Structure 1
Amino acid sequence: MKKAIILVVMLMLAGMMLAGCGSTETKAPVKKIVIGLDDSFPPMGFRDDKNNIVGFDIDMAKEVSKRLKMDVEFKAIDWSTKESELNGKRIDALWNGMNITEERKKNVLFSDPYMESKQLIFVLTGSPIKSSADLAGKVVGVQQSSIGDEVVTKDDQLKASLKDFKKYPDCISAFMDLKSGRLDAVVTDEILGRYYMSKEMGQYVVLEKPMGEVGNYGVGFRKEDKELRDKVQTVLNEMKKDGTSAQISQKWFGADIVK
């Protein structure tokens, strides 16, 4: 009888130990990628009428993070401080129609190019401006620290000929001033400009000759985050191959314009 009681007690203790082991078991933490973006850059990344961040790059990043089994957070930042945000580790990537340039490559590790980027001049319908030469004596606006800003700033002759050169925190503000007559022209990315034109039918005209060199968009990572960059690139390649990126492009642009 005594042995039987001891056996029961031992079995109970063993069960409690097993239960205890189970209760202290912890799951591996879910990994998350924080994407920095200018949330006023349609159709790549912007806020809809319900204040949700949406866009082509948003859909692409969501699909990539899903396939990598990572959570994703979209963080609106001041685009002029994008490299500081990235290298200060407040974000993990810049994914928002970011042009790949030699200057940016010094501080940022880029994905392969995924879309072509042109800087074009946008004016009001009926404007006498027909080329970049006609900008002399005019007021021109750009987004601060954008490629449009760089293109105008680096063209000493063009910049010197302008009546005024205004820089805005986002392109939408520049287009609002163009519409109100405070600007004569806006220099910005073709994709954003054409999207804005489509929402304001008949109010704007685009000059088709690009300003500066034709560039490309890429996803930006910290220089030391090659492993993350390579994982994202592998998934982007898979999405290109299986047609997912084409479907997302059709949704936002009505055509497959992904490289």
Structure 2
Amino acid sequence: MKKKNYLLLTLLALFTFLLIVGCGRKKTDTDQWSRIASEKRVIVGLDDSFVPMGFQNKAGEIIGFDVDLARAVFDLYGIKVDFQPIDWSMKENELHNQTIDLIWNGYSKNAEREEKVLFSDEYMKNEQVVVSLKKNRINHFTDMKGKILGAQNGSSGYNSFEKQPKILKDFVKDKTAILYDGFNEAFMDLKSGRIDGLLIDRVYANYYLSHEATLADYSIVSGDYESEAFAVGLRKSDKKLAEKINLAFKELRKSGKLSEISKEWFGEDVTK
């Protein structure tokens, strides 16, 4: 009987604890800066295969340009950053459901996303390109006519592909793209010939192919999509949090820390 009572009390205590924790992270329209500053903890959601912005290394550690930048920003406020891998196609849902506090992982700013989230100041330029094996002779987007294209599900590249069909979609086979959760699998399919071209962020393509020592085997082609800029995604209500991030960006530029992080990952200062 005592064992049953003890078990019941333990389960009740655990339920109470989970209820308290859950209530502390419930969906709210209140600016979350005061909570984050009080807890000294902020949760960043990311696609942990997006090199070099945020990805897992061979030891299972999450590293990358955005990882170092996020830590540098919140170090100024004495706040610890936790990085939470998420399904990138569900990133805005994760943000609004309070599973994460920020979307920060090569997150391109565009008009459609501005309807869903509040953006920080921009900090890096980017563009969408098509990567292919040189033997496929893809020198222009129009050379993808009748060929198989790959893209990442939920990416800004795929959004542009759908919204501006005359640039690329109308040329590719079946006017559709094979979708991947991450680019690693997509590159494997590109190398094996399962797809003929891959729509991808230039920063990812350059870094991945350079570090794989295979850059000379591939063509990287620009099209007519507008250039993009990376920024941090926040809930619309988190204006104070956005202000703090923007102030930190200015401080990191002034101190040279932003340039230092960029040179470490890209060999040059590619920040805005």
- TM-score tier by shorter-chain length is 0.7 to 0.9
Equivalent-residue separation in structure 2 for 1:211 and 1:145 (angstroms): 20
Question: Which letter does structure 1 place at the counterpart of 2:138?
Answer: I
Equivalent-residue separation in structure 2 for 1:233 and 1:110 (angstroms): 10
Equivalent-residue separation in structure 1 for 2:109 and 2:233 (angstroms): 9
Equivalent-residue separation in structure 1 for 2:197 and 2:180 (angstroms): 13
Equivalent-residue separation in structure 2 for 1:254 and 1:170 (angstroms): 25
Preserved contact between residue 95 and residue 234 of structure 2 (Cα < 8 Å): yes
| Aligned equivalent of 1:13 | none
| Aligned equivalent of 1:233 | 246
| Aligned equivalent of 1:247 | 260
Equivalent-residue separation in structure 2 for 1:238 and 1:117 (angstroms): 23
Residue 205 of structure 1: which of 219, 231, 239 is its match? 219
| Aligned equivalent of 1:70 | 79
| Aligned equivalent of 1:102 | 111
Cα deviations across residues 2-34 of structure 1 (Å, max 9, x unaligned)? xxxxxxxxxxxxxxxxxxxxxxxxxx9542110
The residue matched to 1:120 in structure 2 has which SS?
strand
| Aligned equivalent of 1:127 | 136
Larger radius of gyration between Structure 1 and Structure 2? 1
Equivalent-residue separation in structure 2 for 1:106 and 1:96 (angstroms): 19
Question: Which letter does structure 1 place at the counterpart of 2:202?
Answer: E
| Residue 45 of structure 2 is aligned to residue 45 of structure 1 | no
Preserved contact between residue 125 and residue 229 of structure 2 (Cα < 8 Å): yes
- C-alpha change, 1:211 and 1:141, in structure 2 (3 Å) is farther
Equivalent-residue separation in structure 2 for 1:167 and 1:29 (angstroms): 41
Question: Which letter does structure 1 place at the counterpart of 2:72?
Answer: E
Equivalent-residue separation in structure 2 for 1:29 and 1:255 (angstroms): 36
| Aligned equivalent of 2:180 | 168
Report the alpha carbon displacement of residue 160 of structure 1 after superposing the two structures with TM: 3.7
Equivalent-residue separation in structure 2 for 1:65 and 1:116 (angstroms): 22
- Name whichever of 198-207 and 112-121 sits farther off: 198-207
Cα deviations across residues 107-155 of structure 1 (Å, max 9, x unaligned)? 1111111000100110012222110111110000000111111122223
- C-alpha change, 1:241 and 1:133, in structure 2 (3 Å) is same
- C-alpha change, 1:31 and 1:231, in structure 2 (3 Å) is same
Equivalent-residue separation in structure 2 for 1:103 and 1:145 (angstroms): 12
Question: Which letter does structure 2 place at the counterpart of 1:161?
Answer: F
The residue matched to 1:159 in structure 2 has which SS?
coil
Cα deviations across residues 205-226 of structure 1 (Å, max 9, x unaligned)? 211x334100100001110011
Preserved contact between residue 138 and residue 219 of structure 2 (Cα < 8 Å): no
| Residue 173 of structure 2 is aligned to residue 159 of structure 1 | no
Q: Unpaired segments of 5 or more residues in structure 2? A: 1-36
| Aligned equivalent of 1:182 | 194
Equivalent-residue separation in structure 2 for 1:204 and 1:52 (angstroms): 29
Percent of pairs with identical residues: 41
Preserved contact between residue 139 and residue 219 of structure 2 (Cα < 8 Å): no
Equivalent-residue separation in structure 1 for 2:96 and 2:137 (angstroms): 44
Report the alpha carbon displacement of residue 93 of structure 1 after superposing the two structures with TM: 0.4
Report the alpha carbon displacement of residue 156 of structure 1 after superposing the two structures with TM: 2.9
| Residue 92 of structure 2 is aligned to residue 80 of structure 1 | no
Q: Aligned-pair RMSD on alpha carbons? A: 1.4
The residue matched to 2:45 in structure 1 has which SS?
strand
| Aligned equivalent of 1:91 | 100
| TM-score normalised according to structure 1 size | 0.86
Question: Which letter does structure 2 place at the counterpart of 1:258?
Answer: T
Question: Which letter does structure 1 place at the counterpart of 2:256?
Answer: G
